[in-house]
Structure 1
């Protein structure tokens, strides 16, 4: 990847290129599992922040303002793309079961519906 850092979860390494290509590689053998385009709500996206992982999912923020969720695993499956208010240049952060996403205009705190506030 040009800007985002690799993400290692268990024996899988995920490499998200700034142009929107996500690769999954077996960490111990180097075997390429997939090489797929991640799409935002308006099609292809650019990425500067690094992906993060929690709860069996990978979270990526795009320059087009999309929060994109990918299922962890050996097969590519994009679960969602949600449009936020403005571009996302930073890496999301995770704390106490919540995902924090900083856009150019706001700081978003995303958690499970009905979860108690901190």
Structure 2
């Protein structure tokens, strides 16, 4: 997977996860029309490609974008931390701090006051 792309005028530097991916991608690029040079060092994960403007290689390399790892969002953190909070005022403050006043208040009211007590009385008798 390509982790980073740095573009110059007619050059692109690509950073890969592994050496195998870099070697495979460089073999593919060497046969592509418009690639003037593929510069690579032996034991690095970077690959520099020099291409001609307006060529198919220019089109391909200009549309490359690195894949980003999905990271935790504030909603994920909220639902991981919220079960450990016991006091209702603390839960309310944490909801408001995380989501803002209106959404935090609504989330607290629906989850803490209606949904969770209903589930507890229905399923945990």
Superposition TM-score, scaled by structure 2 size = 0.21
Q: Is the strand fraction higher in 1 or 2? A: 1
Superposition TM-score, scaled by structure 1 size = 0.22
Q: Is the helix fraction higher in 1 or 2? A: 2
